[in-house]
Amino acid sequence: MKIFAFALRPFDELEYLDALSRELGFDYDWTPDYPTLENAHLAAGSQGVNIITNPMTPELLDAYRDLGVTGLATRSIGYDHIDIEHARAIGMRVGHAAYPPEGVADYTIMLMLMALRRAKFVFRQVAVQDFSLAGKIGRDLKSCTVGVVGTGAIGSCVIRQLAGFGCRILACDPFPKDAARAQATYVDLDTLLAESDIVTLHAPGLPENHHMIGAEQFARMKEGALLVNAARGMLVDTGALVDAIESGHLGGAALDTIEHEAGLYYLDRTRDVLPNRDRAILDALPNVIVSPHMAFYTACDVEAMVRTTVEALLAFDRGEATPYEVL
């Protein structure tokens, strides 16, 4: 079997893909370029295509199908960038990545701590040699109630790790997990928003979750509460978030992902005028942290993302079932 990988990073992912080709016995080729109709021909002769969070339109899927591609896998847990229904309609199986939850959970808690201790403002002031304390007092995580929205693998891991800080933990999920009940109290979303000092989002990027946190939800949150999002940008209505922060109702936010980030991450855009006003506004606010969707970025997680997507494509080629298939 041959796999073609698009948008493959030569400084980390390539090493893992090359090692896997020897371990699992497949051929591969790759490009650092993102997939487009203009470079779709690069996948000719390959049975599987491996991508990252790149939009997979019906036209692009058709182009791969016409080249003989029968399987597609994305090196991400989320797959909302792929037109799944069209892929099924043309007989193309789709896989996604799986990786240990600790990396994203660690990053999430780091964002909480940075927001609580006003780290962005502190470090910006230090850069201009302002070493004063005024306006920089923080809060202890132990003194907070943390609301975890979504208790899948990552959300449940966040709960386990938060338990060590001694804070009160609330959780909300349509499918409660028995293991999480030992350390968190399940409540409805309105109760969670009303009682939490920090709300952290770990819900999947499903259509029904689009803007699950909007103006109404921000209004229900506690005065001075913090929002953390290391899941999907589409979960939050960005305009409503900016309004809630500018009004002073929300105490701040720590965001690893925002709406309309396609075309920004993971590229060097230092010389460009970016057509993304939401990000510019958020980045300008002293109480908002915006990082470039990299909560997953650990050696352990990157290796797992490459491995699980390769294993999915190999299973597709053999006509076998795989736990990494999008069903």
Percent helix, strand, coil in the chain, to 5, is 40, 15, 45
pLDDT score for 285 = 97
Assess whether pLDDT exceeds 90 at residue 313.
Answer: yes
Q: Which residue out of 9, 75, 118, 232 is catalytically annotated? A: 232
CATH of the domain at 130: 3.40.50.720
* Residue 61, domain member (yes or no): yes
The tens digit of pLDDT for each residue in 227-237 reads: 999 999 999 99
* Residue 326, domain member (yes or no): no
Q: Which residue out of 9, 293, 307, 311 is catalytically annotated? A: 293
* Residue 107, domain member (yes or no): yes
pLDDT score for 162 = 98
293 is catalytic: yes
Do residues 50 and 110 share a domain?
no
Do residues 280 and 249 share a domain?
yes
Do residues 244 and 116 share a domain?
yes
CB 83 within 8 A of CB 107: no
Percent of the chain exceeding pLDDT 70 equals 100
pLDDT score for 268 = 87
The tens digit of pLDDT for each residue in 86-106 reads: 999 999 999 999 999 999 999
* Residue 237, domain member (yes or no): yes
The model's pTM: 0.91
Do residues 95 and 169 share a domain?
no
The tens digit of pLDDT for each residue in 154-178 reads: 999 999 999 999 999 999 999 999 9
Q: Which residue out of 13, 259, 261, 303 is catalytically annotated? A: 261
**Could you give the CA distance from residue 105 to residue 101 in angstroms, rounded to a whole number?**
6
pLDDT score for 262 = 79
The amino acid sitting at 198 is I
Do residues 23 and 158 share a domain?
no
Do residues 56 and 90 share a domain?
yes
Percent of the chain exceeding pLDDT 90 equals 93
Do residues 248 and 175 share a domain?
yes
* Residue 327, domain member (yes or no): no
Do residues 151 and 94 share a domain?
no
Do residues 230 and 131 share a domain?
yes
pLDDT score for 64 = 98
List, edge to edge, every strand of the sheet that includes 226-229. Answer: 185-186, 168-172, 145-149, 198-201, 226-229, 252-255, 288-290
Pick from 190, 137, 139: nearest CA to 167 = 139
pLDDT score for 166 = 97
* Residue 325, domain member (yes or no): no
Assess whether pLDDT exceeds 90 at residue 53.
Answer: no
The tens digit of pLDDT for each residue in 171-222 reads: 999 999 999 999 999 999 999 999 999 999 999 988 999 999 999 999 999 9
Assess whether pLDDT exceeds 90 at residue 248.
Answer: yes
- pLDDT, mean over the chain: 96
Assess whether pLDDT exceeds 90 at residue 305.
Answer: yes
Do residues 19 and 111 share a domain?
no
Do residues 92 and 208 share a domain?
no
pLDDT band of 78, cuts 50, 70, 90? confident
261 is catalytic: yes
Do residues 30 and 59 share a domain?
yes
Q: Which two three-digit tokens encode residue 67?
A: 């080249």
* Residue 323, domain member (yes or no): no
- Half-sphere exposure (CA, 13 Å, Cβ side) for 162? 34
The tens digit of pLDDT for each residue in 119-134 reads: 999 999 999 999 999 9
Give the end-to-end CA distance of the chain in Å, rounded to a whole number.
Answer: 23
Pairing of strands 185-186, 198-201: unpaired
Pairing of strands 198-201, 288-290: unpaired
9 is catalytic: no
Assess whether pLDDT exceeds 90 at residue 54.
Answer: no
* Residue 94, domain member (yes or no): yes
Q: Which two three-digit tokens encode residue 286?
A: 């002293």
pLDDT score for 69 = 98
The tens digit of pLDDT for each residue in 266-302 reads: 888 899 998 889 999 999 999 999 999 999 999 999 9
Query: Structural domain of residue 81, as residue ranges?
Result: 2-99+298-318
pLDDT band of 265, cuts 50, 70, 90? confident
Q: How many domains does the chain have?
A: 2
